[in-house]
């Protein structure tokens, strides 16, 4: 199509290509593929390189944009009439002959992450609303999940169009398949209140008045919502408010939604506002082009704005009442998104109040240890038992903070009353102790046991189990005794503290020689023959 801007003598041409490659056609294996398709538009294709597409479109003064929604992906070319034919060649190549070279897709990962970080709150909440209403299909997100960033390549990104079978939807709103229903829901949206017509202004709509009376003079924004898909739809409202009044806003809006009065004056106002919106939308070439493309792809036919206006006039009050009845009898779905704003009063330059660094995972790359961390992280979250949280914390620790424990210490602690038959749990190493001669029957769970300690425990009729076996026997830590070795038993700890020789100091000195011939005393002491 062509359009001209008033006041200028420049005439521009626009071409639109659309395909059913929206997010509803994605499978669980390639969620986010439509987002990647949109971001990677203009990369190397079968006929042109990335540089060639960009440079040649710039040379003819054309621009190529890509948009994607839940049902279609659109490629729009805008340029001058005398060079428009050249741009059509690149439009066809970009939209139908993609190759998705892995290194080019990888280079666009920063842009993908940037787009994910800048999603507006109102877009996020609509995405969550579709997820809650449809789950799959139309419930698929428009954006690539963070966990899948970098996983899409030439094999996972769809290069051919697929159309999934249409299933019955739990939410049957203003479906585009029924033109009369779609227009009735559109009129109903304007009757309920489509937001202020003047920027930063109020609205005389019933929805706005109802919420305003409920919250008083506190700031808020609310507007009726009508989303139409090819075979389903959503109708409701979109609200924004501070957290302290969000509940009042939702309660008042739901009450107004369920108790809306449809007078002839309200119906006439809704029709007039919808017709004005349709006609104003045709003044811009881009909006009109997108509307034509949507109709062609989703409906298989194109209706002119004048025909749409005539169809709006043909909607009766009975049609609108029937649409409103579907709203009141339909299932309610709620989606919420909260923006947390941090108010920093100052910066701690001296790092006096810095939080201590605590491990959240072990530094060791041992596969068994990593699997145990995953297991006990799950148990700590689901059972909420303190035992599992302690085990998880000790699995993170370094070897210094989980010292070995001797068999003698285990036997001494297990001889206490009430501990017969309980499981000894040690997040560390169990070592042998030759000073103890008889070992009772023990059940020990440890990360490691030395060869001699293992042999003595098994010889006494006991058993040594692993932590995954412990999770099956005692998932919450019942009938267990948690032990650990002395952390200050290391040789290095004996040299910590006050300087050797200072009064009340028990610190072991560092000496080179330990023989009897070397002077060790300090000062005049009785041991050296001096008298006071």
- Domain holding 267: CATH number? 3.30.830.10
Instruction: Provide the strand spans (E) within 156-220.
Output: none
Q: What pLDDT, on the 0 to 100 scale, is given for residue 420?
A: 92
Q: Do the domain assignments include residue 244?
A: yes
Q: Do the domain assignments include residue 340?
A: no
Least confidently predicted of 62-71, 196-205, 342-351 = 342-351
CB atoms within 10 A of CB 516: 6
Q: What pLDDT, on the 0 to 100 scale, is given for residue 446?
A: 97
**One domain for residues 183 and 299:** yes
465 or 227, higher pLDDT: 465
Q: What pLDDT, on the 0 to 100 scale, is given for residue 6?
A: 40
Q: Report percent pLDDT > 70 for the chain.
A: 82
The answer on pLDDT for 1 being more than 60 is no
| CATH number of the domain bearing residue 402 | 3.100.10.10
Of residues 375, 466, 368, the one with CA closest to residue 425: 466
Q: Report percent pLDDT > 90 for the chain.
A: 26
The answer on pLDDT for 14 being more than 80 is no
Q: What pLDDT, on the 0 to 100 scale, is given for residue 177?
A: 58
Q: What is the mean pLDDT of residues 27-52?
A: 85
Q: What is the mean pLDDT of residues 511-525?
A: 67
Q: What pLDDT, on the 0 to 100 scale, is given for residue 207?
A: 86
Q: What pLDDT, on the 0 to 100 scale, is given for residue 82?
A: 86
Q: What is the mean pLDDT of residues 148-174?
A: 55
**One domain for residues 184 and 322:** yes
Sign of the CA dihedral running 420, 422, 423, 426: negative
**One domain for residues 307 and 379:** no
**Helix (H) / strand (E) containing 309:** helix 305-313
Residue-range definition of the domain harbouring residue 205: 179-329
pLDDT tens readout for residues 67-84: 888 888 888 888 888 888
**One domain for residues 315 and 243:** yes
Of residues 458, 475, 163, 190, the one with CA closest to residue 323: 190
The answer on pLDDT for 300 being more than 90 is no
175 or 30, higher pLDDT: 30
Mean pLDDT taken over the chain: 83
**One domain for residues 241 and 312:** yes
Q: What is the mean pLDDT of residues 395-409?
A: 94
Q: d(Cα 171, Cα 233) in Å, to the nearest integer?
A: 7
Q: What pLDDT, on the 0 to 100 scale, is given for residue 161?
A: 40
Q: Do the domain assignments include residue 77?
A: yes
Angle, helices 206-215/179-192, rounded to nearest 10 degrees: 40
The answer on pLDDT for 350 being more than 80 is no
Least confidently predicted of 63-72, 155-164, 518-527 = 155-164
Q: What pLDDT, on the 0 to 100 scale, is given for residue 108?
A: 84
Least confidently predicted of 304-308, 399-403, 467-471, 516-520 = 516-520
Q: d(Cα 24, Cα 180) in Å, to the nearest integer?
A: 24
pLDDT tens readout for residues 453-486: 999 999 999 999 999 999 999 999 999 999 999 9
From 119, 137, 155, the end of a domain falls on 119
Q: What is the mean pLDDT of residues 490-503?
A: 90
Number of domains comprising the chain: 3
**One domain for residues 315 and 380:** no
Q: d(Cα 422, Cα 100) in Å, to the nearest integer?
A: 61
From 329, 347, 378, the end of a domain falls on 329
**One domain for residues 219 and 270:** yes
**One domain for residues 388 and 472:** yes
Residue 317: HSE in the Cβ half-sphere, 13 Å Cα cutoff: 9
Q: What pLDDT, on the 0 to 100 scale, is given for residue 400?
A: 92
The answer on pLDDT for 86 being more than 60 is yes
**One domain for residues 378 and 310:** no
Q: Do the domain assignments include residue 23?
A: yes
Of residues 327, 162, 152, the one with CA closest to residue 233: 327
Are 77 and 289 spatial neighbours (Cβ–Cβ below 8 Å)?
no
The answer on pLDDT for 8 being more than 50 is no
448: Cβ contacts below 8 Å, ≥ 6 apart: 428, 429, 430
Are 371 and 396 spatial neighbours (Cβ–Cβ below 8 Å)?
no
Helix (H, G, I), strand (E, B) or coil at 203: coil
Radius of gyration of the chain from Cα atoms?
36
pLDDT tens readout for residues 419-450: 999 999 999 999 999 989 999 999 999 999 99
Q: What is the mean pLDDT of residues 298-314?
A: 79
The answer on pLDDT for 11 being more than 60 is no
Q: What pLDDT, on the 0 to 100 scale, is given for residue 18?
A: 61
Please tell me which of 9-13, 55-59, 176-180 the model is most confident about, judged by mean pLDDT: 55-59
**One domain for residues 202 and 94:** no
Question: Any idea what DSSP says for residue 48?
Answer: -
Q: What pLDDT, on the 0 to 100 scale, is given for residue 168?
A: 42
Helix (H, G, I), strand (E, B) or coil at 117: helix
Q: What is the mean pLDDT of residues 47-51?
A: 88
Q: What is the mean pLDDT of residues 309-331?
A: 86
Q: What pLDDT, on the 0 to 100 scale, is given for residue 80?
A: 87
Q: Do the domain assignments include residue 260?
A: yes
Q: d(Cα 96, Cα 19) in Å, to the nearest integer?
A: 10
The answer on pLDDT for 19 being more than 80 is no
Q: What is the mean pLDDT of residues 392-406?
A: 94
The answer on pLDDT for 112 being more than 90 is no
**One domain for residues 315 and 372:** no
The answer on pLDDT for 393 being more than 90 is yes
Are 75 and 66 spatial neighbours (Cβ–Cβ below 8 Å)?
yes
Among all chains, which residue has been given the structure tokens 């026997």?
A: 473
123 or 17, higher pLDDT: 123
Please name the residue ranges forming H helices in 67-205: 84-96, 102-107, 109-117, 121-134, 179-192
From 78, 100, 119, the end of a domain falls on 119
**One domain for residues 372 and 318:** no
Least confidently predicted of 2-11, 173-182, 406-415, 499-508 = 2-11
pLDDT tens readout for residues 267-294: 888 888 888 888 887 776 666 667 777 6
């Amino acid at each position: 199509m062509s359009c001209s801007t008033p006041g200028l003598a420049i005439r521009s041409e626009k071409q639109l290509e659309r395909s059913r490659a929206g997010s509803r056609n994605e499978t669980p294996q390639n969620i986010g593929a439509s987002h990647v398709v949109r971001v990677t538009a203009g990369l190397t294709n079968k006929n042109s390189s990335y540089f060639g597409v960009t440079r040649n479109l710039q040379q003819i003064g054309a621009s190529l944009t890509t948009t994607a929604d839940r049902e279609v992906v659109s490629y729009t070319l805008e340029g001058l009439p005398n060079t428009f034919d050249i741009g059509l060649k690149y439009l066809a190549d970009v939209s139908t002959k993609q190759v998705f070279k892995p290194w080019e897709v990888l280079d666009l990962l920063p842009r993908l992450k940037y787009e994910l970080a800048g999603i507006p709150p109102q877009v996020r909440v609509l995405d969550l609303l579709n997820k809650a209403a449809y789950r799959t299909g139309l419930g698929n997100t428009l954006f690539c999940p963070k966990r899948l960033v970098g996983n899409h390549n030439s094999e996972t990104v769809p290069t051919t169009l697929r159309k999934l079978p249409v299933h019955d939807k739990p939410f049957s709103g203003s479906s585009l398949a029924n033109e009369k229903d779609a227009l009735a829901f559109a009129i109903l949206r304007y009757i309920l209140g489509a937001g202020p017509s003047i920027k930063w202004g109020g609205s005389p709509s019933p929805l706005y008045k109802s919420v305003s009376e409920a919250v008083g003079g506190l700031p808020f924004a609310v507007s009726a919502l009508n989303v139409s898909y090819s075979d389903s739809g959503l109708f409701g409202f979109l609200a924004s408010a501070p957290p302290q009044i969000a509940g009042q806003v939702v309660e008042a809006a739901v009450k107004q939604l369920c108790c809306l009065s449809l007078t002839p004056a309200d119906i006439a106002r809704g029709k007039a506002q919808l017709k004005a919106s349709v006609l104003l939308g045709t003044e811009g070439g881009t909006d009109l082009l997108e509307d034509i493309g949507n109709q062609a792809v989703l409906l298989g036919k194109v209706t002119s704005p004048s025909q749409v206006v005539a169809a709006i006039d043909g909607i009766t009050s009975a049609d609108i009442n029937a649409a409103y009845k579907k709203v009141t009898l339909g299932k309610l779905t709620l989606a919420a998104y909260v923006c947390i704003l941090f108010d920093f009063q100052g910066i701690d330059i001296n790092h006096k109040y810095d939080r201590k660094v605590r491990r959240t995972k072990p530094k060791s790359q041992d596969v068994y240890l990593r699997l145990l961390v995953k297991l006990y992280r799950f148990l700590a979250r689901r059972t909420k038992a303190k035992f599992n949280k302690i085990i998880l914390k000790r699995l993170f620790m370094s070897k210094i903070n989980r010292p070995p424990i001797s068999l003698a210490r285990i036997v001494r602690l297990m001889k206490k009353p009430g501990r017969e038959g309980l499981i000894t749990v040690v997040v560390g190493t169990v070592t042998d102790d030759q000073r103890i001669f008889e070992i009772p029957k023990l059940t020990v769970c440890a990360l490691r046991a030395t060869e001699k300690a293992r042999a003595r425990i098994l010889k006494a009729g006991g058993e040594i189990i692993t932590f995954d076996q412990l999770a099956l026997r005692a998932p919450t830590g019942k009938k267990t005794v948690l032990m650990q070795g002395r952390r200050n038993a290391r040789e290095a700890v004996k040299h910590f503290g006050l300087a050797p020789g200072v009064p009340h100091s028990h610190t072991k000195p560092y000496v080179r020689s330990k023989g009897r011939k070397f002077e060790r005393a300090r000062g005049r002491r009785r041991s050296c023959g001096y008298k006071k």
